[in-house]
Amino acid sequence: MYRVHLPGRSTNAAWRDAARRLASHRILAEKVEWTRELAGTGLFGFDPLPANDGAYEVTASKALIDLTGAVLCHSDPQAPALAYRLLLRHQYDRRALSNPADPLTQRLRRMEKSVRRDIHKMHAFVRFRELPTEGLRRSFAAWFEPQHFITERAAGFFAVRFADMDWLIATPDMTVTFRDGVLGFGPAPQQRPDLPDDASEALWATYFRNIFNPARVKISAMKSEMPVKYWKNLPETRLIPQMLAEADARVAAMRAAMPTDPPQRATRILDKLPAMPVANMPETLDQARDAAMSCTRCDLCQAATQTVWGEGDLNAALMIVGEQPGDQEDLQGRPFVGPAGTLLRELMEEAEISAVWLTNAVKHFKFKPRGKLRLHQNPNRGEVQHCRWWLDLERRFVAPRLTLALGATAAYALTGNPGPLQNRRGQSEQAMDGGPVLISWHPSYILRLSGKEAQSARSMLLQDLRHAARITI
Ligand code: URA
């Protein structure tokens, strides 16, 4: 009987080394006992395994390596033995792996699926809390309890996704750290760390409240997407009992309040309708902002993380209006903090603009999910119309002397003219509420250009910003 003790880290490499050597001597699966270190970093040790490779060549296809790699993360103590059994079988029967009726293959495929699902859940459900730090990089920590030994496999995703911060994820079987761009693995903490609460909890709660659709409460589907075992470490799940209790009342309220997007041809008719009197009309900018936070005037609130309200100097003579929040803005709840915002802020500095109110025509991020990405979508006219309610309120309270419209959506929201910008950029038009609107390029448009075209569009936006600065001094 041979005994192989696998380490808690780099388990896959250690298993492959031992399995290849055993299989090269055609040592039967029944003759090998596999054990796995459950926590810590102990060294890979094995009792008298054959010191050298045996006479038989051992081959493994990529599909087999992928399957055994996933299976080895499974928490079933039998996982390394089953993977070895498959490796041996593969030496004389290549078809076993692709035979869905084979009981061993079936079992391993189920294990693989469960591991992949656990990795997916870890990617989705790790909730970082910010830690105090004196360094330049922000620092975060999270506690997560996976079902299988997946921490090492799942870590790469976080290194890519959160490359600009230092972070640590502690799990019951190991701790992953990411410091100054370097990924490291260490032993599990003795006990679950006590992490501070932070503002991101509120963000998750807002996000969850926004994606929770009371009209589609399907508790079993919810539990399958977000299994109950993960709930205790998810800040947003604390809202579930209350949201379920309120679901019926919210559905009734939604029915009463639900807006319908007008078909595009109806837009002009809608423009002509007199403004409807509204109860609870906000009387201050803060009241308007608070009301906008729970806006459901169109469907964009369903998928966006939160309403992104304007910000800046509320006594500013200049208002700059963009299209809608992007991915970063949606997550941070602030306008122009992503790549387009970086360009805009750089140009504003060059133009020496300091007092400004920055906002968007549409207050929710519209996107199409593509894998892990959220691809920007232009808001349609109906969405712009619905959101004009908030823009009008913002304009009433900020009362800018001049508004700079960035891009066609902002120009349409402010002037009602949906026409192309080619002949309008750099010109002043009249806003529907009366004030002057200077039309310019949107910084995202400039970011999509290259070479001379990008240079020229950039200097046009700078010229418009300088023009706006002169008028509003
Ligand atoms: N683009 C916009 O129009 N607004 C933002 O806030 C960010 C990107």
Q: What are the domain boundaries of the chain?
A: 2-121, 126-186, 206-253, 285-471
* Residue-level pLDDT at 232: 73
Nearby residues of 427 by Cβ (< 8 Å), 6 or more positions away: 438, 439
- Please check whether residue 213 is in contact with residue 247, taking contact to mean a CB–CB distance below 8 angstroms: no
pTM for the whole structure:
0.49
Range list of β-strands (E), 118-239: 129-131, 139-143, 166-170, 175-179, 182-186
pLDDT along the chain (473 residues), means of 10: 89 94 95 76 58 89 94 96 96 84 92 95 89 83 94 92 89 92 90 73 67 71 74 74 78 70 56 54 91 92 94 94 97 96 96 95 95 92 95 94 96 96 94 92 97 96 95 81
CATH assignment of 285-471?
3.40.470.10
* Residue-level pLDDT at 201: 67
d(C-alpha 259, C-alpha 298), whole Å: 6
d(C-alpha 330, C-alpha 163), whole Å: 19
Inter-CA distances, 449 with 64, 223, 325, 374, 422, Å: 45, 45, 20, 21, 15
- Please check whether residue 471 is in contact with residue 402, taking contact to mean a CB–CB distance below 8 angstroms: yes
Determine whether the shortest distance from the Cβ of 325 to ligand 1 is under 6 A: yes
Q: Which of 309, 311, 328, 329 is the best mutation target for the ligand 1 pocket, counting ligand atoms within 8 Å of the beta carbon and taking the most?
A: 329
**Ligand 1 centroid distance, CA of 324 (Å):** 5
* Residue-level pLDDT at 248: 79
* Residue-level pLDDT at 471: 84
**Ligand 1 centroid distance, CA of 322 (Å):** 5
- Tokens 């600009």 — which residue? 164
Length of the chain: 473
d(C-alpha 464, C-alpha 126), whole Å: 44
Instruction: Report which of 364, 367, 428 is spatially closest to residue 390, judged by C-alpha positions.
Output: 364
* Residue-level pLDDT at 42: 46
Determine whether the shortest distance from the Cβ of 444 to ligand 1 is under 6 A: yes
**Ligand 1 centroid distance, CA of 267 (Å):** 24
Determine whether the shortest distance from the Cβ of 359 to ligand 1 is under 6 A: no
d(C-alpha 314, C-alpha 395), whole Å: 10
